[in-house]
Structure 1
Amino acid sequence: MAIPQLSSFSGYRLPALGFGTYRLNGTAGVEAIGRAIDNGYTLLDSAFNYDNEGAVGAAVRAHRSAREQLVVTSKLPGRHQRFAAALETVEESVYRTGLDHLDLYLIHWPNPSQHLYVEAWAALIEARSRGLVHEIGVCNFLPEHLERIEAETGVRPVVNQIELHPYFPQTDALAYHREHGILTQAWSPIGRGNDLLSNRTITAIADQHRISAAQTVLAWHVAVGAIPLPKAATQQRQLENLGALDVVLSAAEVAAITALGRPDGRINNQDPAAYEEF
């Protein structure tokens, strides 16, 4: 199926729904990622810290005819944010995949107390100029972080990947990104270890549309303009998640799901203003 595209301020385009690869490792991971490509997913999300860039690359190399349509993504860990280490890490990511470049590379967390995220961003700009990656962005950056890297380098990220789901809908972040033409990707889009998929508001809407709770949540993401990155190993779940693109929620249904947001809605209380990831 053809997945709709969203465009950033620069014209860089990404599909409206992607594929998460966290904990898809080894041979089983290669097989699951290969299934996803066969099923029509083109945006593949990975990270240096997931230890599965090799599995992602193996799946992509087995689908050479689809390479130009794929957006292979990885992320820079916090422990490698100094300029030289960051560049070496991007190189290592490319080597791990066995590809000649990565399509999108992101800073995983700002780690603001380390005062290195601007240096890391400069390294990603250099990696892009060298052709190691085609486009660059960030994860978990607050507006103050986004504004600082642009002010100090002149380069705005095309993507900010953030925690976003109905219990933490990030309406302010979505509005900020939209105003600045930054694409919003959502990690843990259907929750992780919480009761989101059994929430009565969501299950009632799902019943009304005769779809699953997961499809309902993913359709909500699409409606609010976020790019969800659900992980699914099985054929059934992968196709089910893609089916969310055919679901049209009413404005009232979108509002009802958004209203489930709560101050303590983060899954692990990982506030980018203080959280450190290495």
Structure 2
Amino acid sequence: MQYVTLNNGLKMPQLGFGVWQVPDEEATPAVAKALEVGYRSIDTAKVYQNENGVGRALAASDIPREELFITTKVWNSDQGYENTLKAFDASLERLGLDYVDLYLIHWPTPEFDEYVDTYKALEKLYKDGKVKAIGVCNFNVEHLERLLNECDVVPAVNQVECHPYLQQSELKAFCKEHDIYLEAWSPLMQGGEVLNHDVVTGIAQKYSKTPAQVIIRWHLQYENIVIPKSVTPSRIEENFNVFDFELSKEDMAEMAKLNRNQRKGPEPNEMNVR
């Protein structure tokens, strides 16, 4: 396992396991398999409606809590200072934990203009020791700038859609400048279109790896935190088996050319679902 060090000194596994779109009852065996394979970072959210399932897998595991890194998120309908504090307590209860390692704002939803107050609630949770680190998801540069100007704690992580067709280089440069780690959701791209690109399949053939393994390896070398999702045991294993090879500079240069700024998810400023 490779770790990154967040801006507050906390170590976080660079490769984690995501459970977006995994039903609650399927989350338990999927997370159990991920832990068995070697994953130590699990990423969930209130809106995924599977925190209970994740919690069941964690409770059944004999891995010491301090070796695990658990992330969850506050949903749009729970934003605002007091609402966020209540939402956090409810998430903690569903997960069956005393604390979470990383708590994130799921979307900025700028139309409702609550994300600064929400983030101030995250700062309280952090200062009270209920979370080890705080951050955001899907924040553009202007949203991050506002937090940097109006809040005290620099976000540790900005989790955004990122894959070879959406490499987020400008946002990534801003995050790096402010010591914020970029974490990639949908790292293999929803629909998997990029997995069939000739560059990706060619590199996969060269290393006797799968296209998915090549893209996960690209994320690691691109210095992203990455959280692939699967409920298929063989895929969960395959996605973790990426530490025994390395892409060359030439491979990375070829991968860089794939960027199309092509999103599959919403543009953050347009996301206003409660």
Q: How high is the TM-score relative to the length of structure 2?
A: 0.96
Instruction: Tell whether 2:174 aligns with 1:163.
Output: no
Instruction: Tell whether 2:263 aligns with 1:266.
Output: yes
Instruction: Tell whether 2:55 aligns with 1:57.
Output: yes
- Report deviation, 1:17: 0.7
Structure 2 letter corresponding to 1:166: P
Q: 1:145 maps to which residue?
A: 143
- Report deviation, 1:23: 2.5
Q: How high is the TM-score relative to the length of structure 1?
A: 0.94
Distance 1:64 1:147 in 2: 41
Deviates more, 1:142-151 or 1:180-189: 142-151
SS of equivalent residue, structure 1 residue 65: coil
Q: 1:177 maps to which residue?
A: 175
- Report deviation, 1:26: 3.2
Structure 2 letter corresponding to 1:197: L
- Report deviation, 1:176: 1.7
Q: Is the 8 A contact 2:24 2:51 kept in 1?
A: no
Q: Is the 8 A contact 1:138 1:157 kept in 2?
A: yes
Deviation digits for residues 213-261 of structure 1, max 9, x if unmatched? 0001111101110111101223321221111232200112112112111
SS of equivalent residue, structure 2 residue 8: coil
Q: Percent identity?
A: 36
SS of equivalent residue, structure 1 residue 244: coil
Structure 1 letter corresponding to 2:268: P
- Report deviation, 1:150: 2.2
SS of equivalent residue, structure 2 residue 241: helix
Distance 1:79 1:16 in 2: 29
How many residues end up aligned between the 2 structures?
274
Shift >4 Å, 4+ stretches: none
Distance 2:193 2:140 in 1: 27
C-alpha change, 1:55 and 1:17, in structure 2 (3 Å) is same
C-alpha change, 1:90 and 1:267, in structure 2 (3 Å) is same
Q: Is the 8 A contact 1:90 1:132 kept in 2?
A: no
Gaps of 5+ in 1: none
Alignment of 1:71-220 (within 5 A): 71-220=69-218
- RMSD (Å) for aligned C-alpha atoms: 1.3
SS of equivalent residue, structure 1 residue 94: helix
C-alpha change, 1:29 and 1:18, in structure 2 (3 Å) is same
Structure 2 letter corresponding to 1:266: R
Deviation digits for residues 116-150 of structure 1, max 9, x if unmatched? 10000001111223333221110011122112112
Distance 1:201 1:271 in 2: 27
Structure 2 letter corresponding to 1:58: R
Q: 1:222 maps to which residue?
A: 220
